[in-house]
Amino acid sequence: MQPIPQTFTVRDLQRQYRSIIETAKKTQEAVVLINNSRPEAVLMDIGTYAQLATDDYVFDEDKTLKLLAQAKNSYRRGHAKVLRSWDELDR
């Protein structure tokens, strides 16, 4: 999953409907539709929707496992920092 989802304006959807649908199908990622500089809707292919509808945690689990792997690699390379409190996370 991409960190920042692809976005298109509602006008883009009106003018390039097929292209935006193909983008959602090809990437299997949600596409955010923007109207007046604000997110208004999400468009996704039917396979992604079906997976989301049947397993509420599929995206969270994948993201968490990737983040855990990154953290382990960082620790192994000696880039880990010992935190004394949760407040240090913002620094």
pLDDT of residue 8: 93
CA–CA–CA angle 48, 54, 56 (5° rounding): 85
* Burial of 31 (C-beta count, 10 Å sphere; 0-12/13-18/19+): buried
pLDDT of residue 3: 65
Instruction: Give all domains of the chain, ordered by start, each with its CATH number.
Output: 6-79 (3.40.1620.10)
List per-residue pLDDT tens for the chain, 91 residues long.
Answer: 556 788 999 999 999 999 999 999 998 888 999 999 889 999 999 988 888 788 766 567 777 888 888 888 888 888 877 777 877 776 5
